[in-house]
Structure 1
Amino acid sequence: MDIVLAMRVFARVVEANSFTRAAETLDMPRARVTVTVQALEARLKTRLLQRTTRTLNLTTDGAAYYERCLRVLADIDDIESSFLGKQRTPRGRLRVDMPGALGRLVVMPALGEFHERYPEIDLMLGLGDKPLDLVQEGIDCVVRIGTLQDSSLVARRVGIYEAVTVASPAYLQKAGTPQTLAELANHRTVNYYWSRTGRVMPLTFEVDGEVVEVKMRGALAVNDAEAYLRSALSGFGIVQGARFMALPYLQSGALIEILSPWKPPPLPISAVYPHNRHLSATVSAFIDWIAELLRHSPLFASTPELDARCRPTSAAGPDAEPIDLDGDEAEPIA
């Protein structure tokens, strides 16, 4: 049997969730699609799909095989393109995951330009901050904020994240405005905690080139960046939020920056992808695009001063070091 054709047919059945729709998009008789998948299952000696009269579901083996198929087919397309010796428009499905606030407020408003530039890329954009296994879950690329640990993944820095320490005028009028870090002991915060571990994130400040962590008391804890900032707007206490999210409120006066002589250290924004396989044209196109998007925004662009203060992309050093999304430091903060 033509194993590559069988893989393409199987992948299309999964994506269409229907033998009939897959046959239509492949311009093949439905019977041939069915026979091809059955022959593939016989060759592999395992069931890939559970079929009933109403539903079509992947088995555990089927899900694993499907993700491997996508990678193999993408590599075949890349090899063919390179040997044909011609520039080929990136095409195919691209699955990306990134922090919700960054995706909703920065990336999604610009996606029209991305699709104009790459009309043949079908983008699946996940918004969240949970730790992910890129290989097992079939994710091509994730965007993450912060220093990351070593593993079999590669990170490319695409921007710089800046935080700002803020509180509402109502809170400051009631509790007073702290003038030193020591005075934070007399104030309250809204704690941000990691969903997976429940670990609370301390406030961080740069003092004489060193990073100082300050743990504060607070009656409220959240695990969402937008809820975190909203709680400060509601007067619950002092928070350190993303500058790109806080900027409209700083401009309107709904939030006030405090302790500006001791700013939070800037953090790298990284595009992360598997280290052990060829970087596909679709992934490369997306990484180049988001790097360009952030580079042209003054809220994310790198400067010599920010570069000197920015924490490293990975715990081991340079931007291209392999990193790990499973460690605590790998969890995004926006």
Structure 2
Amino acid sequence: MDQLAAMRAFVRVVETGTFTRAADLLDMPKPTVTKLIQQLEAHLRAKLLNRTTRRVSVTMDGAAYYERALRLLDELSELDTSLTLAQARPSGRLRVDCSSSLAISVIIPALHEFHARYPDIQLDLGLSDRAADLIGENLDCAVRAGEIADQSLIARRVGEMQLITCATPDYLARFGTPSHPRDIENGHQIVAYRPALGGRVLPMVYQNRSETIEVSGRYTVALNDGMGYLAAGLAGHGIMQLPTFMARAPIADGRLVPLLLDWCTAPKPLHIVYPPNRHLSNKVRVFVDWLAELLARDDLVLMPGGLLRGCRPQPLAADSAA
């Protein structure tokens, strides 16, 4: 049995859902694909696929084998690519996890530029504020804000972002405008951000040239997604701290009013992280370089016209990139 051919045939059958379509993509007769799958199942002594006259489905053993086989085939493809002229033209599927807010506000609008440079890269972009399991979910890399808690990951710092405090005009008409961060804890409500279900609500942190203040206000809604957080703030549910790249448009069109401009927060670092035992492929390298270039052009720390008047202090904690 040609095990590599059998693995490729199995992966294509899983992805297409039919032997006929897999055979077309592999440019081989359908009976050959069927024989390869049968040989693979006999070799593994496990049933990988359930077959009926109408559809093909994957067994539990087949699903587990698919993930490992896909990873091995991708790594083999990268190894072959690294020894050919294709090294100068990266290709293949790139799996990236990123927060929905950064992706929607900054990355996705600029993707046409990335694909113009690297037309052979197919980007699978997962949007979530949770900390994805890079190895378990077979991801190539992830974009993360803040300090890196998992010290087993390799991290490259690609930029930083600044938070700004905002509320809607309607909210301020009902509750008044705070003149000091401590005012938020008295007679106001906030939109709370809770990174994970069961975790603690993150406090609002403020700094000026002489002091640092943590504020924990009263909230009626807490969210764990950046775009949901923004939507709750725009609906008038309270005061919020959000990245300046998310606040620019609603401040410009009057939907949000910036608050406490004489105070600021320490810029949050942005990293791309990847597993230490995974080869840093050329497609990951070019994506990391492109993203660092994009963030350097689109300064996520500053607001147009110098709106943030407060200090720009050093980060409260050292960069934890490995």
Normalising by structure 2, we get a TM-score of: 0.87
Aligned partner of 1:268: which letter?
Answer: P
Corresponding position of 2:231? 230
SS of residue in 1 equivalent to 2:9: helix
Same amino acid, percent of matched pairs: 46
> Does the alignment pair 1:189 with 2:153?
no
- Residue pair 1:130, 1:196 contacting (<8 A) in 2 also: no
Q: Distance in 1 between matches of 2:81 and 2:231?
A: 49
- Residue pair 2:267, 2:301 contacting (<8 A) in 1 also: no
- Residue pair 1:81, 1:88 contacting (<8 A) in 2 also: no
Q: 1:216 Cα shift?
A: 0.6
SS of residue in 2 equivalent to 1:136: coil
Q: Distance in 1 between matches of 2:29 and 2:142?
A: 38
- Residue pair 1:152, 1:276 contacting (<8 A) in 2 also: no
Aligned partner of 2:233: which letter?
Answer: A
Aligned length: 313
Corresponding position of 1:147? 147
Which sits farther off after the overlay, 112-121 or 76-85?
A: 76-85
Q: Distance in 2 between matches of 1:55 and 1:130?
A: 34
Correspondence list, 1:308-323, <5 A: 308-309=314-315, 311-314=317-320, 319=321, 321=322
Q: Distance in 2 between matches of 1:180 and 1:13?
A: 61
Q: Distance in 1 between matches of 2:228 and 2:86?
A: 48
Correspondence list, 1:256-295, <5 A: 256-295=257-296
Corresponding position of 2:124? 124
Correspondence list, 1:78-89, <5 A: 78-84=78-84, 87-89=87-89
Q: Give CA deviations for 1:110-143 in whole Å, capped at 9, x if unaligned.
A: 2222222222222222212233222222222221
Corresponding position of 1:328? none
SS of residue in 1 equivalent to 2:87: coil
> Does the alignment pair 1:102 with 2:102?
yes
Correspondence list, 1:112-261, <5 A: 112-186=112-186, 187-208=188-209, 211-261=212-262
Q: Give CA deviations for 1:53-102 in whole Å, capped at 9, x if unaligned.
A: 33333333322322222332232233333334763422222222211122
Structure 1: runs of 5+ lacking an equivalent: 322-334
Q: 1:24 Cα shift?
A: 0.3
Runs (4 or more) in structure 1 with deviation over 6 Å come to none
- Residue pair 2:162, 2:268 contacting (<8 A) in 1 also: yes
Larger RCO (CA within 8 A; separation ≥ 6): 1
Cα RMSD, aligned residues only? 2.4
Normalising by structure 1, we get a TM-score of: 0.84
Closer, same or farther: CA 63–175 of 1 in aligned 2, 3 Å = same
Q: Distance in 2 between matches of 1:88 and 1:307?
A: 41
Q: Distance in 1 between matches of 2:222 and 2:85?
A: 56
Closer, same or farther: CA 264–284 of 1 in aligned 2, 3 Å = same
